Amino acid sequence: MKINILAAVVTATPVLGLGEWSSPGPYDARGPCPMLNTLANHGALPRDGKDISRNVTMNALADVLNFERDLSSFLFDFAITTNPKPNATTFSLNDLANHNVLEHDASLSRPDAHFGNTIWFNQTVFDETKSYWTDETVTFEMAAAAMLARQKSSNLTNPEFSLSELGSAFSVGESVAYVVVIGDKQTRTANRTWLEFWFEHERLPTHLGWRRPELPFTSDDLSGGMELLGNITRQTPSA
Ligand code: HEM
Ligand SMILES: *[C@@H]1O[C@H](CO)[C@@H](O)[C@H](O)[C@H]1NC(C)=O
Ligand SMILES: *[C@@H]1O[C@H](CO)[C@@H](O)[C@H](O)[C@H]1NC(C)=O
Ligand SMILES: *[C@@H]1O[C@H](CO)[C@@H](O)[C@H](O)[C@H]1NC(C)=O
Ligand SMILES: *[C@@H]1O[C@H](CO)[C@@H](O)[C@H](O)[C@H]1NC(C)=O
Ligand SMILES: *[C@@H]1O[C@H](CO)[C@@H](O)[C@H](O)[C@H]1NC(C)=O
Ligand SMILES: *[C@@H]1O[C@H](CO)[C@@H](O)[C@H](O)[C@H]1NC(C)=O
């Protein structure tokens, strides 16, 4: 009985900063990052997606995803480079879509800028990505294969295809991020059902059992994950 009550309390405990989910309204800004969009949809970032400060970024990523503040601050420094205003101290989610600043070709769930809007989820593109998630448990090997396949498709179909060194590094970082943030940083695996739900709805899959990671996610976790996924990429026969 005691155990049941405890289980109920644990299940009901809301994630700090994670408000009710709602889809963006017509005047809300969104961008090419499925996670920042998700945080805005839950009200952990401003729901309008606009004028997001360093502090607000650090608090949202800490409260909802247990990101170490130094890492969030480091990511924020990249984010403000996308704001075209000089000496900006904030960014809006749509700024992130400015092509070839951070936004790059061969995304996992968005078409290349040459083909269309990089802000909104695109099912055709995502279907290609998820066809490489060949098991209920998604691994770094599958994430690497999906990333390489998207790069190959874009290169073959987009006459303007480009991927800078920064774009390439971001691609690796993004693939690491979805596995370890929706999944687990120690096993480096993620539940495919949770991943698909999150990408397709930009909503955290709490109803499927996703919880805020217990261990903080650090800069070392990100760089270590990127080194490993980068190594796997080099060993993956090109798709
Ligand atoms: C301040 C923090 C962050 C910034 C500035 C940021 C920025 C971006 C940008 C600019 C893109 C677009 C890249 C592209 O062209 O595909 C992107 C994509 C992505 N981001 Fe974030 N991001 C942040 C945090 C996160 C976090 C915490 C996660 C955790 C899961 C995440 C996961 C992803 C994924 C998986 C993609 C790839 C989407 C796709 O390829 O379709 N991001 N992010
Ligand atoms: C940033 O957040 C911290 C902790 O939440 C708070 O103490 C500080 O006053 C905030 N700073 C600004 C500039 O909002
Ligand atoms: C931006 O900052 C630089 C260096 O602090 C300063 O010289 C410049 O006037 C600022 N520009 C604007 C538009 O505020
Ligand atoms: C989605 O991407 C595909 C492939 O690039 C493209 O043909 C299609 O028009 C896009 N759909 C939308 C709704 O943008
Ligand atoms: C696209 O593919 C060609 C042929 O394999 C290759 O030489 C080129 O470097 C690729 N482009 C990019 C940006 O990776
Ligand atoms: C993934 O999550 C779904 C839905 O919550 C669950 O039914 C399934 O057993 C999980 N799969 C694995 C491999 O843990
Ligand atoms: C990645 O590959 C390099 C070169 O083979 C190796 O020294 C390094 O230990 C590898 N790192 C990881 C995390 O696997």
Map out the domains of the chain as residue ranges.
2-235
User: H or E element: which one contains 35?
Assistant: helix 34-41
Is the CB of 122 inside a 6 Å radius of any atom of ligand 4? Answer: yes
pLDDT at 137 over 70: yes
Q: Ligand 7 pocket test: which of 188, 231, 232, 236 has the largest number of ligand atoms within 8 Å of its C-beta?
A: 231
> Is 4:68 a contact under the CB 8 Å cutoff?
no
pLDDT single digits (tens) 160-210: 999 999 999 999 999 999 999 999 999 999 999 999 999 999 999 999 999
Q: How confident is the model at residue 8 (pLDDT cuts 50, 70, 90)?
A: very low
Mean pLDDT for the stretch of residues 16-25? 93
pLDDT at 11 over 60: no
pLDDT single digits (tens) 35-64: 999 999 999 999 999 999 999 999 999 999
Token pair listed for 195 = 């991943």
Residue 16: CB atoms within 10 A of its CB come to 13
pLDDT single digits (tens) 122-131: 999 999 999 9
Task: Classify domain 2-235 by CATH architecture.
Answer: Orthogonal Bundle (1.10)
pLDDT at 3 over 60: no
Q: Which atom of ligand 1 is nearest to the CA of 96?
A: 10
Mean pLDDT for the stretch of residues 100-104? 98
Distance from residue 52's CA to the centre of ligand 3 (Å): 20
179: nearest Cα among 164, 170, 168, 191: 191
Ligand 2 atom 10, closest CA: 55
> Is 187:201 a contact under the CB 8 Å cutoff?
no
185: nearest Cα among 216, 163, 210: 216
pLDDT at 16 over 90: no
Token pair listed for 176 = 């690491």
Mean confidence (pLDDT) of the chain: 94
> For position 15, what pLDDT does the model report?
81
User: For the chain, how are helix, strand and coil distributed in percent, rounded to 5?
Assistant: 50, 5, 45
Mean pLDDT for the stretch of residues 14-20? 84
Ligand 5 atom 13, closest CA: 162
Q: Which atom of ligand 6 is nearest to the CA of 205?
A: 5
> For position 10, what pLDDT does the model report?
47
CA Rg, the chain, in Å? 18
- Which ligand sits nearest to residue 152's alpha carbon? 5
The DSSP secondary-structure symbol of 237 reads P
Q: Which atom of ligand 5 is nearest to the CA of 151?
A: 14
Ligand 1 atom 9, closest CA: 33
Q: Which atom of ligand 6 is nearest to the CA of 209?
A: 5
